[in-house]
Structure 1
């Protein structure tokens, strides 16, 4: 420090940046400024100097800063100096002096900690408060996203410096924004203590308990090899923070592979709750462990997902609305008393003196695959807990009826989207030949559960009221896919209640007629998306779409096109695949009027070249003409006018391969480069499915396909073995690869392993080549769906065991034609993939010769097929499978495997969640080439018996095809 003569109220501060001493590149000059003109300081220019002299007001410094108060007002000799040197971060010092002299600082994520540290060191209390206010505002602001490295740095700094508000706000911010935080690549970088504090925070906001568990598993996996935790570290106990009673069954089953104890505990808890949730929750209330069963909800919750929680009942929703101060003894007695009354009266009713909880921010709820959640008994709690509910997803809930939908519209006026999808019938008329059909309505027994009795009376009253006094709802998106109980009268009711409908999905609803569809369309003029696959959609509906219905409405788009007053003109999505009721003329009539269309699905229709040439639009993003008779020239005409196409499917189009269907110029082009190459020149393809008429002749043709994420190469396509080997390297973004009737080899598998790090789907069907057991040794850790159908006849139990180790995350598995496997394969599959939801095993040696006990350990199976794997399946297998596999919906068997000659069909009550059973029957057929031995007769398919249950009846159908 050096003395100097200055005005009595001023002091000269020489600010020296410590880093400037070692920096020879900085000019050796000193900049002089005064705080009297602080608002004019050019901070960027100042920071270029190694030191800055600032004439500052002594009194202002003393008043605002504890550091300067001690420096300039002490009794020691330096206190009277008029020239003081300070070594500190130059930028931070400049900001502090600016603030002390009245300049408003602009605090950002980049300079927050710099300013906070300076405020703390120089003892500027008002600046500390300013930093706290800014950080609080940032962490509490809705939609604000602070960089994760800033949050982690702030957390560590706050703990080191003992600044209480910083770590408190950090963990609160992470808790409220947990969904966003877990989506970041930097999520595993969060310190354990911060993550632990975040999970215990009362404002932890989750979509589901599964979301929390998945996030913790990711964190543990990434930190297992770091200093954060080791395999035997107590930090793995953080998984105990997960409320396993709220996990989906299939997720808990998957945990058994790497976290066997947690997985087993989860499965046992879920199965116990399925048997008697009332007694278990009542005991938890008495033992002060009710939080283990309460869905996590906060004032920030917007979405709640219970999908796959097969054990969830209305009682869990009852817990949602209970008051938060339930720990008080008096409140507990009151609730217990109310629960006792509920048991006696078969109802759940809260006492009037209890204030219920309500979460108005919740807009979306997913209760898909929750078969025990009856709408009639759940609706009262949904109303109390989520009054602002606008989206309800309830797919694969066969207990829900169309009357539930009417009730929903009346009770929830804000509802805009409903999904009540169920499995589409396997015997769609467009695909099979029906031999016979019968149906039986359910008889309601006197032992019907109280929840169902209450539901029936409620829904009958609501449905009657809503139909007698229809009130227009706000619903814009409705999905009723697969619901065969829906008829024309239901469509009429929907059109009366849902005039604002813009999206309708009734795929596979075979009971509705073309006339019923046309009447609905004519009433819902806002419709822009129609998913009508495998329905009776036909000429009447086309007539409505092509008529000038909008001419007298206020919905006409500003356009001078002659068809702009038609609904077809404004359609953005149309799925009519499998619709056999629409002829060539009707399709052409429709195509020449569609202009704004983005998605068009025409698979299996009678679409012609003329219709494609007539197509009006130029905004297509997805097109499917599979299994049609269109030519390559017509297809190319659509692609050239729609450069935005990202998805193109054209498998099974045999006419694409005929040279007489396109002109000479096209033929010359095809000799040099394939049509796939030409297609990729017009649009950036991300998904393709091709067969006849497509070939890849050179590596050069793969270059434009580098952004492909999904590819299906089917029968008739000829890419060549060399091209298939290079495909993974040229298209490294591929997530799904499906090869049908192609020539494959170990070399292709090696290329897949080396290049496709994000592969999730691999399906090989009826492929030839020299594929060996090497394919089972390829590591594909991201793979979720694996289907090997008639491609691995050499597979043994040992190969299967290796496959389960190298593809640990498979949840859908299909295997056909592996005759070397035996009953031990069941244990290999169930131990290697305990979380499987889809298992298809056909012609796989003797897997079921000794029964099917081990496969029941894959407790989350939803789709189960066992055919020609050994004559060891017992007569009561269907009932046993339904009772032991709570999520099982689809089951396919063959009478050839029945050890007692047949299978017993379960009753409506016994079938549990099961909705479809398919039983194939074979017949003996004499072989013309061998008439002397037992092998002279072989089994061939005769017919398939299909049993289906919906919410109203059971249907039994016999079809010729094997489905």
Structure 2
């Protein structure tokens, strides 16, 4: 940016600008952009954590041609929304005259894309005003915000194709209101909405025998929309699948999260109800070999499969059919029986994987590294956690996966050397992110590379555990101790420096 400042540039013709993940972008950089990139129509600041709400609002006030804004995980807040909702005529910009009769309209009224997921600085009042003006939106993400029903009821647009309201406190009727008015909806994410299908109460506080909003929402979805992607949790059941059949014939991706309960009958219907599925993500469901074999045999276009924390009895028999199109495989706490022999079979039947995640495969050992590196040489992401002794003797073969960009190794054996991070970065030229646990460090710690020696690493996460007494074992006279997560050290390099942050979350 410094060299650009000194070159005294004229006004730029750039219309689309993406700065996603650039934590080094500052308020002064945004001010420079707002002065010289007045033609911007698309702006992506996702994850730009150093810019403030005020600087984003000033940019919005100056770049009046913006119709697409992506500001997830930033300080985007009430000031920015006020800038979006203020009339263009108030900006003091001569360009406003080009809008003719619409010169009094706000920028919000012409927005087509607005993604503001996890922007906690936006209050309920601001959201109400924004939703009342954003009538042309096609793509809207409000995940993890302070979204309430009134804001959705205030939305009068009819052009939505994508809506993400995951992890908010909305209810079924308010979402049904959006669905009824937007028949072109193709992508819906309402996962983690705990109030979505709560039972309704009458004025005396007596619960109805059936939550009518659940039936209303799924009936409207099935009758109104032709969905391509859906993610639901609470309230998603066999009834929902039946009601959504008309909307699911073109469905390509389905995610069932915590709170959803399809049951065996619904899961058996999945391949026939959604014959075009390319991605299946099941969390906390009850599955069996027969269900998995049915899914594998019928969905020949399947590219992504995630089974996470599911119950039931599945075996290697579920994976004996060849899946040449499968690119992403996540088996998390569902295959504790997996051995090296089973892993070999997976490499043969799922030969084209680029992303692999295995959690809780305790029978795997250090020889599994060679199986993974030879069976899937094109892997770009590997997550291995609680997988026996894979790293008990250090890393011997995984370094051969030179395409790796994302590597997670946790609780797989205390064999990783102190210089592991630098070693991995030097041997895997595409590596961008590494996630480790001090439990796996042979010397109890890892060396942090110098800024110049990090190669292309941008993020390192190091988790630390603490010993906690476990009193659940009643047969043991002395309570045993187990390791539980305590904190995570997050290291982020940008073009200027290294930022260290310690968080309690297990990232």
The CA distance in 1 between the partners of 2:178 and 2:197, in whole Å, is: 18
Is 1:508 aligned with 2:52? no
The CA distance in 1 between the partners of 2:163 and 2:284, in whole Å, is: 23
The CA distance in 2 between the partners of 1:719 and 1:725, in whole Å, is: 10
Is 1:867 aligned with 2:410? yes
Which of 104, 107, 112 is matched with 1:572 structurally? 112
The CA distance in 2 between the partners of 1:538 and 1:729, in whole Å, is: 44
Is 1:707 aligned with 2:250? yes
Q: Which residue number in structure 2 is paired with residue 751 of structure 1?
A: 294
Contact kept, 8 Å, 2:229 with 2:252, in 1: the verdict is yes
CA deviation digits over 1:195-233, x for unaligned, max 9? xxxxxxxxxxxxxxxxxxxxxxxxxxxxxxxxxxxxxxx
Contact kept, 8 Å, 2:214 with 2:235, in 1: the verdict is no
Q: CA RMSD in A?
A: 2.2
The CA distance in 2 between the partners of 1:803 and 1:668, in whole Å, is: 44
Q: Which residue number in structure 1 is paired with residue 87 of structure 2?
A: 548
Contact kept, 8 Å, 2:72 with 2:116, in 1: the verdict is yes
Which of 932, 940, 948 is matched with 2:484 structurally? 940
Question: Tell me, what secondary structure is at the counterpart of 2:357?
Answer: strand
Q: Which residue number in structure 1 is paired with residue 64 of structure 2?
A: 525
Q: Which residue number in structure 2 is paired with residue 795 of structure 1?
A: 338
CA deviation digits over 1:887-910, x for unaligned, max 9? 001001111011111111111122
Q: Which residue number in structure 1 is paired with residue 506 of structure 2?
A: 962
CA gap 1:937/1:662 in 2 versus in 1, 3 angstroms: same
Is 1:465 aligned with 2:7? yes
Contact kept, 8 Å, 1:632 with 1:661, in 2: the verdict is no
CA gap 1:718/1:879 in 2 versus in 1, 3 angstroms: same
The CA distance in 2 between the partners of 1:672 and 1:653, in whole Å, is: 13
The CA distance in 1 between the partners of 2:70 and 2:477, in whole Å, is: 54
Contact kept, 8 Å, 1:573 with 1:600, in 2: the verdict is yes
- Which runs of structure 2 are paired with 1:201-240 in the superposition (5 Å)? none
Q: Which residue number in structure 2 is paired with residue 808 of structure 1?
A: 351
Alpha-carbon deviation of 1:557?
6.8
Q: Which residue number in structure 2 is paired with residue 771 of structure 1?
A: 314
Alpha-carbon deviation of 1:674?
7.2
Contact kept, 8 Å, 1:631 with 1:661, in 2: the verdict is no
Contact kept, 8 Å, 1:507 with 1:533, in 2: the verdict is yes
Q: Which residue number in structure 1 is paired with residue 169 of structure 2?
A: 629
- Which runs of structure 2 are paired with 1:155-554 in the superposition (5 Å)? 403=1, 460=3, 462-466=4-8, 470-550=9-89, 553-554=96-97
Alpha-carbon deviation of 1:504?
0.3
The CA distance in 2 between the partners of 1:923 and 1:555, in whole Å, is: 63
Alpha-carbon deviation of 1:660?
1.8
Contact kept, 8 Å, 1:944 with 1:958, in 2: the verdict is yes
Contact kept, 8 Å, 1:674 with 1:694, in 2: the verdict is no
Alpha-carbon deviation of 1:744?
1.1
Contact kept, 8 Å, 2:41 with 2:65, in 1: the verdict is yes
Q: Which residue number in structure 2 is paired with residue 242 of structure 1?
A: none
Alpha-carbon deviation of 1:564?
6.2
Question: Tell me, what secondary structure is at the counterpart of 1:845?
Answer: coil
The CA distance in 2 between the partners of 1:613 and 1:819, in whole Å, is: 50
The CA distance in 1 between the partners of 2:202 and 2:55, in whole Å, is: 40
Question: Tell me, what secondary structure is at the counterpart of 2:195?
Answer: helix
Q: Which residue number in structure 2 is paired with residue 612 of structure 1?
A: 152
Question: Tell me, what secondary structure is at the counterpart of 1:715?
Answer: coil
CA gap 1:477/1:776 in 2 versus in 1, 3 angstroms: same
Question: Tell me, what secondary structure is at the counterpart of 1:556?
Answer: helix
Q: TM-score, normalised by structure 2?
A: 0.94
- Which runs of structure 2 are paired with 1:767-916 in the superposition (5 Å)? 767-916=310-459
The CA distance in 2 between the partners of 1:546 and 1:618, in whole Å, is: 19
Contact kept, 8 Å, 1:812 with 1:838, in 2: the verdict is yes
Question: Tell me, what secondary structure is at the counterpart of 2:180?
Answer: helix
CA gap 1:853/1:933 in 2 versus in 1, 3 angstroms: farther
Q: Which residue number in structure 2 is paired with residue 431 of structure 1?
A: none
Q: Which residue number in structure 2 is paired with residue 590 of structure 1?
A: 130
Q: TM-score, normalised by structure 1?
A: 0.50
The CA distance in 2 between the partners of 1:680 and 1:520, in whole Å, is: 41
Contact kept, 8 Å, 1:550 with 1:556, in 2: the verdict is no
Alpha-carbon deviation of 1:775?
1.9
Contact kept, 8 Å, 2:197 with 2:214, in 1: the verdict is no
Question: Tell me, what secondary structure is at the counterpart of 2:223?
Answer: helix
CA gap 1:569/1:880 in 2 versus in 1, 3 angstroms: same
Contact kept, 8 Å, 1:948 with 1:956, in 2: the verdict is yes
CA gap 1:618/1:857 in 2 versus in 1, 3 angstroms: same
CA gap 1:667/1:711 in 2 versus in 1, 3 angstroms: farther
Is 1:680 aligned with 2:219? no
The CA distance in 1 between the partners of 2:338 and 2:72, in whole Å, is: 38
Contact kept, 8 Å, 2:172 with 2:214, in 1: the verdict is no
Contact kept, 8 Å, 1:894 with 1:921, in 2: the verdict is yes
Question: Where does the alignment leave 5 or more consecutive residues of structure 2 unmatched?
Answer: none
From the two aligned structures, give the one with the greater strand fraction: 2
Contact kept, 8 Å, 1:698 with 1:723, in 2: the verdict is no
CA gap 1:543/1:536 in 2 versus in 1, 3 angstroms: same
Alpha-carbon deviation of 1:937?
1.1
Alpha-carbon deviation of 1:555?
4.6
CA deviation digits over 1:58-110, x for unaligned, max 9? xxxxxxxxxxxxxxxxxxxxxxxxxxxxxxxxxxxxxxxxxxxxxxxxxxxxx
CA gap 1:798/1:945 in 2 versus in 1, 3 angstroms: same
Alpha-carbon deviation of 1:701?
3.1
The CA distance in 1 between the partners of 2:292 and 2:273, in whole Å, is: 15
Question: Tell me, what secondary structure is at the counterpart of 2:453?
Answer: coil
CA gap 1:547/1:615 in 2 versus in 1, 3 angstroms: same
Question: Tell me, what secondary structure is at the counterpart of 2:97?
Answer: coil
CA deviation digits over 1:684-714, x for unaligned, max 9? 1111000112223287435311110111111
The CA distance in 2 between the partners of 1:635 and 1:700, in whole Å, is: 19
Question: Tell me, what secondary structure is at the counterpart of 2:32?
Answer: helix
The CA distance in 2 between the partners of 1:785 and 1:494, in whole Å, is: 38
Q: Which residue number in structure 2 is paired with residue 155 of structure 1?
A: none
CA gap 1:869/1:627 in 2 versus in 1, 3 angstroms: same
Contact kept, 8 Å, 2:412 with 2:440, in 1: the verdict is yes
Q: Which residue number in structure 1 is paired with residue 142 of structure 2?
A: 602
CA gap 1:894/1:910 in 2 versus in 1, 3 angstroms: same
Question: Tell me, what secondary structure is at the counterpart of 2:488?
Answer: strand
